[in-house]
Amino acid sequence: MPEKLLFEKSKPNRKGYTLPKLDVPEQPLDKLIHPKFLRKMEPALPEISENEVVRHYIRLSTMNYHIDKGFYPLGSCTMKYNPKVNEYTASLPGFVNLHPFEPDELVQGALKLMYELGTYLKSITGMKGITLQPAAGAQGELTSLLMFRAYHNSLGKPRNIILVPDSAHGTNPASVTISGFKAVSVKSNSEGTIDIDDLKRNLNEDVAGIMITNPNTLGIFENNILEIEKLIHDAGALMYMDGANLNALLGIVRPGDMGFDAVHINLHKTFSTPHGGGGPGSGPVAVSNRLEPFLPIPQIKKMGEKYYLTFDLPKSIGKVHTFYGNFGIFVRAYTYIRMIGNDGLRQISENAIINANYLLSKLKDYFELPYKNTPMHEFVLSGEKQKQMGVKVMDIAKRLLDYGFHAPTTYFPLIVKEALMIEPTETETKETLDAFAEALIKINEEISNNPQLVLSAPQSTPVKRLDDARGTKQLNVCYKE
């Protein structure tokens, strides 16, 4: 039975609260608030008891899919489990009761935490400077590109082109445009990595930099990265690494050692902080010596045992976020890094790589594998063979819901037709991976034997199959009997 709205459950005079007795003289509202701001009639709020409100939201939470409920195989997104100890530390009164206007001497603990988190992230990435301000990966991209612009302008040689591989995240070309540059695509070769010859054809004195995801969105490591770095820097341009896939590199290789000038770090991917609902996320940016003078302000510095904020960066691009960023996310990431330690960080990436390749070994005989290079933490299959039988990847994704799994990323990257992009992360057990693989294999059998089962899916979810195009254009959240 569909869950009714609270308004539909409402009964007159039911309530789930009591207010304390007034400890001040009662006064009419119009004496306290100007009459023009007062309602002409009472708001239409539901009247319902506390236990019914709690049960309503618990029932909704069990309908919703979330990381505490099941496996998220979303390629490119690193949807790993969020340890509950992170929530404990982030809720400590000394953190949650802080106010950003408090003077430095009263927030030494918070400043120390941010300073040390920045130090850890610089060590992990092999970079010289860092800002914690950006609130997400895309804002980290934008921040990096604004520093690229400031760097070239400081040399008196403005440039207007950013090279973007054709397998890039969709936010990359969007960030390029927003930051005032022009995006120029660089092709991939038959191995799924950057085509060096096409890179050379597009490299000229107008190129300000290149945006590279490494490993790329196929899960493949750019094995020519040092050659690319030399070409880019010899041309006077800069190197940016999209850190969405950093979970594959921890303790194995560092962006700084590959020659990158900037890398954004998704704390809500690699470092286990919450990822859903549009935020709050966090996308710190670590930079090389070239870009350190252009970092956003303020910067956190240490003198002796005292931490303080400095705004004394004449070449800074300014602020990119109110105050210092999403502090609660910093606490969670700091907790995770301190608990995991150096050896644990490397084990994260090794296990993520093992999980991805194990899952690929179970599925590659049933779906096409367009690029044969051994992937790292994720891989991309193609459902082109299934499409020729009348079933699209979107149908397969919807059928997976009936088996109790969230679908993987579909139709991305764009260089793979009918793409299924799968990333298991390191937090999933062999049993979970086996069950997920078996579900996809069964769906593949259904496509041959009873395709209507797949084409009509999902059937077991609270909401059945929707018209996706119509749902996007005509959102209707009203309840109907």
> CA 118, CA 114: separation in Å to the nearest integer?
6
**Could you tell me if residue 246 is inside a domain?**
yes
**Could you tell me if residue 69 is inside a domain?**
no
> CA 230, CA 259: separation in Å to the nearest integer?
8
CATH of the domain at 223: 3.40.640.10
One domain, residues 339 and 424: yes
**Could you tell me if residue 73 is inside a domain?**
no
**pLDDT given at position 3:** 86
Question: Where does 268-421 have alpha helices with state H?
Answer: 327-363, 384-387, 393-402
Cβ 214 vs Cβ 264: under 8 Å: no
Cβ 127 vs Cβ 288: under 8 Å: yes
**pLDDT given at position 467:** 85
> CA 388, CA 327: separation in Å to the nearest integer?
50
One domain, residues 302 and 427: yes
One domain, residues 21 and 117: no
**Could you tell me if residue 76 is inside a domain?**
no
Residue identified by tokens 């090794």 is 350
**Could you tell me if residue 75 is inside a domain?**
no
Cβ 352 vs Cβ 424: under 8 Å: yes
One domain, residues 256 and 125: yes
Cβ 321 vs Cβ 305: under 8 Å: no
CB 54: neighbour CB atoms within 10 A? Answer: 11
**Could you tell me if residue 257 is inside a domain?**
yes
Cβ 258 vs Cβ 251: under 8 Å: no
**pLDDT given at position 425:** 96
One domain, residues 109 and 53: no
pTM recorded for the entire structure: 0.90
One domain, residues 173 and 244: yes
Angle at 176 between CA 172 and CA 180, to 5 degrees: 165
One domain, residues 214 and 314: yes
Q: How far is CA 404 from the centre of its chain?
A: 23
> CA 226, CA 189: separation in Å to the nearest integer?
17
**Could you tell me if residue 72 is inside a domain?**
no
One domain, residues 151 and 14: no
Of 358, 366, 364, the C-alpha closest to 446 is 366
One domain, residues 124 and 54: no
Domains of the chain: total: 2
Beta-bridge partners for 410: 420
**Could you tell me if residue 71 is inside a domain?**
no
Listed in order, strand segments (DSSP E) in 189-305 are 207-213, 238-242, 262-264, 285-287, 299-303
- DSSP character string of 396-429: HHHHHHHTT----EES-STTSTTEEEE---SSS-
Domain extent, residue 44, equals 6-63
Question: Could you list the pLDDT tens digit for every one of the 481 residues in the chain?
Answer: 678 899 999 999 998 888 899 999 999 888 899 999 999 898 889 999 999 999 999 999 888 888 889 999 999 889 999 999 999 999 999 999 999 899 999 999 999 999 999 999 999 999 999 999 999 999 999 999 999 999 999 999 999 999 999 999 889 999 999 999 999 999 999 999 999 999 999 999 999 999 999 999 999 999 999 999 999 999 999 999 999 999 999 999 999 999 999 999 999 999 999 886 556 789 999 999 999 999 999 999 999 999 999 999 999 999 999 888 999 999 999 999 999 999 999 999 999 999 999 999 999 999 999 999 999 999 999 999 999 999 999 999 999 999 999 999 999 999 999 999 999 999 999 999 999 999 999 999 999 999 999 999 999 998 888 888 888 888 776 544 4
One domain, residues 48 and 167: no
Report phi then psi at 382, rounded to 5: -120, 135
Of 14, 31, 63, the one marking the end of a domain is: 63
Burial (0-12, 13-18, 19+ Cβ within 10 Å), 187: middle
Residue identified by tokens 């800069």 is 238
Cβ 151 vs Cβ 238: under 8 Å: yes
One domain, residues 118 and 224: yes
Q: How far is CA 294 from the centre of its chain?
A: 25
Length of the chain: 481
One domain, residues 259 and 296: yes
